[in-house]
C-alpha cells in the first residue's frame, strides 16, 4: 500500500514538472509558429482553440432523418446514399440541394447518369435557374469538376449522381468486350485521396449516390455490394441505406407514393444504425408535413387518441392523412408546430445541431464491390 502511494506521488510530481516546464512550452510555441509559416495559418492548432468544436450540419429535407443523423448532414464531409432502384436516392439528394438553396447557399449537381429531370427538381423546391449542373462524359472529368468546385470554397453542396456512372476514360475508349478489372475502384480511390482534404477545408457537403449489385455464390450474409470499390466506404463520414418498404395507395386513385426507410449505416459525427422513415409522394417529393406529424406525435406536441389527432387540447383531424392535410391547409399552425418540435429535439431551423438518441436496430452493412 505504501509503495502504491509513493508511486502515485511520483507520477504527480512528474506530471507537474512536465506541465510547468517553461522550456518545453517555449519549444512547443516555436515549432507551432514554424509549422504555420511553412504550411499556412490553421495548419496546426490546439483543438480547444478551434473556432467550431461541433460539426455544423445542413437539413436533409426530412425531419425524421435529421433526428436519426443527430442534427442533419454534416458540413465538410463526404456522404454516400445507396439503395436499390426507385428507392428515393435522387429525391433525397435533391431535397438536400433545395434546403441549401433556401438558406442562401450555392448548390451543384454532377449528372454522370445524364438523367436529371429539371421539372421534378423544381417541384421539390430546387431553384433550377441557379443550380449548377455538369454532365461530364468520363469519370475523370466528373471528379475533376467536383475537386475544382470544392477547392473554390464558393459551393456549399455538390451531388454526384452516381458512382456507378463514373466510367473511366480507358473503358470508354476501349472495346466493349475488353476485360478491365478494377479501373473504377482505382479511379475512386485516387480521386477521394485528392478531394477529401479540400472538402474538410471548404466546409462543402459532397454527396455520392450509389447503386447496388449482387455478389454471385454468397451463401451467408447479404449478397449486396455497392459499386466503385471500398475507398468511398472509408472516406464517407455518413452512409445512408435507403429502401422502399411500402407503396402508398388511396382508394380508387391507386398508387400515389412510397414509404421509404433509411438506415444510417455509418456515422462519424453521431451514433450510427438509427432508423428514419418518411413518405415520398410522386411528383412532390418527401412529405415534410408527414414527417412533422410523426415527430410532433413523437415529442407529444401533437397527441393521438385512437384515430384522432389533437393539438393544444383541440381535435384537428381524424386519421394521419387528414392531419397532414390540415397542416398543409394551415401553414401558420404548421410553422408554430415545427418550431415547438425543433425546440424539443434541440434541432435548429437552418443550421441543425444537437444529438438525440433513438432505439437502435441490428443492421447488416452492405459491402463494396471491387
Which residues participate in the annotated binding site for ATP?
83-90
Helix (H), strand (E), coil (C) string for 295-309:
HHHHCCCEEEECCEE
Distance in angstroms (rounded) separating the CA atoms of residues 363 and 272: 10
Whole-Å CA distances, 338 to 291, 323, 327: 10, 14, 10
Give the count of beta carbons closer than 10 Å to the beta carbon of residue 179: 5
Distance in angstroms (rounded) separating the CA atoms of residues 210 and 165: 9
Q: Which region holds residue 251: left if phi is over 0, alpha if psi is between -120 and 50, else beta?
A: left
Whole-Å CA distances, 119 to 126, 283, 284: 10, 9, 11
Whole-Å CA distances, 270 to 88, 142, 248: 23, 30, 31
Residue that has been written with the C-alpha cell 429502401 in this structure? 243
State whether residue 157 is helix, strand or coil.
strand
Question: Are residues 139 and 173 in contact, defined by beta-carbon separation less than 8 angstroms?
Answer: no
Distance in angstroms (rounded) separating the CA atoms of residues 120 and 80: 22
Dihedral (Cα; 63, 344, 206, 190), 10-degree rounding: -120
Annotated binding-site residues read: 83-90
Amino acid at each position: 500500500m505504501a509503495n502504491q502511494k509513493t508511486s502515485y506521488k511520483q507520477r504527480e510530481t512528474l506530471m507537474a514538472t512536465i506541465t510547468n516546464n517553461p522550456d518545453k512550452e517555449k519549444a512547443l510555441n516555436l515549432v507551432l509558429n514554424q509549422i504555420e509559416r511553412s504550411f499556412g495559418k490553421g495548419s496546426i492548432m490546439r483543438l480547444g482553440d478551434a473556432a467550431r468544436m461541433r460539426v455544423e450540419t445542413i437539413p436533409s429535407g426530412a425531419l425524421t432523418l435529421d433526428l436519426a443523423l443527430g442534427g442533419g448532414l454534416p458540413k465538410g464531409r463526404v456522404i454516400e446514399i445507396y439503395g436499390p432502384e426507385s428507392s428515393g436516392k435522387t429525391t433525397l439528394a435533391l431535397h438536400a440541394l433545395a434546403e441549401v438553396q433556401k438558406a442562401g447557399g450555392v448548390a451543384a449537381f454532377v449528372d454522370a447518369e445524364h438523367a436529371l429531370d429539371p421539372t421534378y427538381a423544381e417541384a421539390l423546391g430546387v431553384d433550377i435557374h441557379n443550380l449548377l449542373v455538369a454532365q461530364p462524359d468520363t469519370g475523370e472529368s466528373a471528379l475533376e469538376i467536383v475537386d475544382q468546385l470544392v477547392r473554390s470554397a464558393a459551393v456549399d453542396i455538390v451531388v454526384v449522381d452516381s458512382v456507378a456512372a463514373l466510367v473511366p476514360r480507358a473503358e470508354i475508349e476501349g472495346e466493349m468486350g475488353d476485360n478491365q478489372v478494377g479501373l473504377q475502384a482505382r479511379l475512386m480511390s485516387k480521386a477521394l485521396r485528392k478531394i477529401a482534404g479540400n472538402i474538410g477545408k471548404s466546409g462543402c457537403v459532397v454527396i455520392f449516390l450509389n447503386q447496388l449489385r449482387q455478389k454471385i455464390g454468397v451463401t451467408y450474409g447479404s449478397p449486396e455490394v455497392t459499386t466503385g470499390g471500398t475507398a468511398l466506404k472509408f472516406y464517407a463520414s455518413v452512409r445512408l441505406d435507403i429502401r422502399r418498404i411500402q407503396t402508398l395507395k388511396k382508394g380508387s386513385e391507386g398508387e400515389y407514393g412510397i414509404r421509404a426507410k433509411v438506415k444510417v449505416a455509418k456515422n462519424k459525427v453521431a451514433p450510427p444504425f438509427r432508423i428514419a422513415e418518411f413518405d415520398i409522394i410522386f411528383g412532390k417529393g418527401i412529405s415534410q408535413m408527414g414527417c412533422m406529424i410523426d415527430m410532433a406525435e413523437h415529442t407529444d406536441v401533437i397527441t393521438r387518441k385512437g384515430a384522432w389527432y389533437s393539438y393544444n387540447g383541440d381535435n384537428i383531424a381524424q386519421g394521419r392523412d387528414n392531419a397532414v392535410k390540415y397542416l398543409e391547409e394551415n401553414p401558420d399552425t404548421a410553422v408554430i408546430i415545427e418550431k415547438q418540435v425543433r425546440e424539443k429535439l434541440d434541432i435548429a431551423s437552418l443550421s441543425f445541431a444537437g444529438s438525440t438518441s433513438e432505439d437502435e436496430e441490428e443492421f447488416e452493412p452492405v459491402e463494396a464491390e471491387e
